[in-house]
Copies of this chain bind each other. A is one copy, B any other.
């Protein structure tokens, strides 16, 4: 397999947009191609992520329309991927694998989503279609409910009183908003404090409003290529060191909601390919759809032991400049940067690439050499991890 590198990365501002999915993706894609010193005619394939375009704008089969909007060659096939929130990460993983295999030399990948259009309540119900339609959705569960249950179980399993756990969770939100306040592309660019989080509206007990990420509109794109070609074209190619994807199935087969088993498998695969361990990771963009989710993720990777990540943010260990073992979600994460479902993974890759290039400005993690992208699709159904290095 060939070495693979990312040449260009871009994202629209995440937030509320008037643009279509294809228009948002095209905005990001044009910037990513320009950054790569390449043009649409140079793309050999498009791997496009979108989750619910049919509900959002009556648009199925969106990939060939993104393709034609950008003027890609007809011989460059456009393929849509959907893996709930992990949609774009999965698209990028397959792009990396097929470039590594020599099937394509240069691929455009990423995704877009208009998640705001429906409003939060309808969007919550609509995206709940990513849980099991017979055994979960019909029981009334939505994603906040899933992570609320996981929070209660975490509290019980590790004997951490709920008020203490909730304060630690609030610190996750505070940290991610602190980071997001420095990110001009973030949906929310505003710091918050623990009292704001603990005073928020109850969403699904014990998760309050600021424990939850928003729905966002946005698009994000990357250009990925054979590493030799990448080195000819850009000054700082960022290498794909390993990828992993695993399937957890529905909630009702999970034995322990405090363990996201699919993530353990996905990270193990990516880490093995990259030849690294959890302690080698300098910076992580992980799937903090809820504050609890960030805690669980850090334990899945083995960066923290099980039951030990809950106070990582409270201790400042995962904060920019906190001097801890790893900086987590310097972009602001889903919590503050936002969560345009089908674009989220590409937005995470964008942040990690900028960090590893040393071009993250105020949010720069000093000396970052190894970065991890982590995205969870559905309620434990799909996890995709990508490890990047400078």
Asked if A381 meets B61 with Cβ closer than 8 Å, knowing A55-B54, A102-B1, the reply is: yes
Q: Which of B78, B133, B262 contacts A74 (CB 8 A)?
A: B262
Report A37-75 CB contacts with B as 1/0, cut-off 8 Å.
Answer: 000000000100001101101111101110110001011
Chain A's interface size range is: 35 or more
User: Which of A193-201, A245-253, A317-325 lies at the binding interface?
Assistant: A245-253
Report A131-154 CB contacts with B as 1/0, cut-off 8 Å.
Answer: 111100100000000000000000
- Nearest to A383 among chain B residues (CB) is B77
Q: Does A118 contact B (CB under 8 A)?
A: no
13 new A-B contacts, CB < 8 A, other than A54-B54, A64-B250, are A60-B84, A60-B130, A61-B381, A64-B382, A65-B132, A68-B250, A74-B246, A74-B248, A76-B247, A78-B247, A79-B94, A82-B82, A101-B101
A positions within 8 Å CB-CB of B: 1, 20, 46, 51-52, 54-55, 57-61, 63-65, 67-68, 72, 74-84, 90, 94, 97-98, 100-103, 127, 129-134, 137, 245-250, 253, 261-262, 265-266, 269, 377-378, 381-382, 384
Q: A81 — which chain B residues lie within 8 A by C-beta?
A: 79-81
Smallest CB-CB A-B distances: 10 pairs:
A68-B249, A101-B101, A77-B245, A64-B381, A61-B130, A59-B133, A60-B129, A61-B84, A78-B247, A64-B247
- Nearest to A51 among chain B residues (CB) is B60
Docked CA distance A245–B80 (Å): 13
- Nearest to A68 among chain B residues (CB) is B249
Question: Are A79 and B83 interface neighbours, CB within 8 A?
Answer: yes
19 sample A-B contacts, Cβ–Cβ < 8 Å, listed by A number: A20-B133, A20-B134, A54-B55, A59-B129, A59-B133, A61-B82, A64-B248, A64-B249, A64-B378, A65-B250, A67-B247, A76-B247, A77-B382, A79-B90, A79-B94, A79-B245, A81-B81, A94-B94, A100-B101
- Nearest to A130 among chain B residues (CB) is B61
Question: What's the nearest-Cβ distance from chain B to residue A23, in Å?
Answer: 10
Q: Which of B247, B261, B262, B269 contacts A63 (CB 8 A)?
A: B247
Docked CA distance A340–B245 (Å): 28
Question: Are A129 and B58 interface neighbours, CB within 8 A?
Answer: yes
- Nearest to A378 among chain B residues (CB) is B61
